[in-house]
Amino acid sequence: MSEVQRSLTMLVYGESKVGKSTFAVTAPYPRLMLDVEGGHRFLPINVKYWDPMREEPPVADGTWDTCVVVVHDYDTVLKAYQWLQMGKHQFKSLIIDSISELQVKCMDSIAGTEAMKMQQWGELLRHMGALLRDLRDLTMHPTAPLEAIVLTAMDSPDREGRHHPYLQGQLKVQAPYFYDILGAIAVESVLNPDPMQPPYKVRRMYVERTDKFEAGERVQGRLGSVIEQENLGVERMLDLVFGPKPTQQ
């Protein structure tokens, strides 16, 4: 399995504080995190800050595992993508946390503080749709392919009670089809084997559609329908789909 082929793109969503960001930073090192929500401060990572508007990507020298771009506006994300597209970087993974907030940044760049007009919704779909497809295609870059692209999103239940990624307009329909995995992360109570003990909580990811969660995958069932807590990591999922990564001499 070549480096270009050994890659996964995923959109994961869930309710607040279920561990979406913690899951995302299990992606292969060195990783780039575009932090739109400001949550990186509480993650178990060694941070190197980067301003793509003013400087080149940092060298992966072993002193950090996650390069963080604090996203204040949509143009910052576009500039970071330009660096990735040029291939002049050492990153193996890209994380955007979250695309729900990024869509708001894009709306701000289009309409400012005004309400979105009809034609501007079409503009939003073109901008965000093109960006999300372009990011996905970075796993097929000819010289600097990424092994993992992990986008997080907020949770939004529909009228029937089924949960979806929180996006607005047609992007809500289109975005889940762009990626290898649409995963719903949930924290659930499990009965304790000892009937004298209370139930305990586990974190799991649904990758197959249920009555409660919109989810899906195109990895031929190699992850099963539910990824349990012990396998809930990006590198572990890469191993499950492609086999263990060959040891470098």
pLDDT in tens, 69-79: 999 999 999 99
Is pLDDT at 1 greater than 70 in this prediction? no
Return all residues near 51 (Cβ < 8 A) that are at least 6 apart. 69
What is the pLDDT, as a whole number, of residue 248? 56
Taking the C-alpha atoms of residue 102 and residue 124, their distance in angstroms, rounded to an integer, is 11
Handedness of CA 38, 41, 45, 46 (dihedral sign): positive
d(CA 202, CA 238): 21
Q: Which two tokens stand for residue 26?
A: 């299990």
Please tell me whether residue 134 adopts helix, strand or coil conformation.
helix
The position carrying tokens 């941070």 is 47
Write out pLDDT tens, residues 15-27.
988 899 999 999 9
Residues 6+ apart with CB under 8 A from 62: none
Q: Round the average pLDDT of the chain to a whole number and report it.
A: 91
Lowest-pLDDT choice from 196-200, 227-231, 237-241: 196-200
Check residue 114 and give its pLDDT. Answer: 86
Model confidence over 52-104: pLDDT tens digits? 999 999 999 999 999 999 999 999 999 999 999 999 899 999 999 999 999 99
Supply the pLDDT for residue 2.
Answer: 41
In 3D space, the residue among 113, 142, 116, 139 whose CA is nearest the CA of residue 127 turns out to be 116
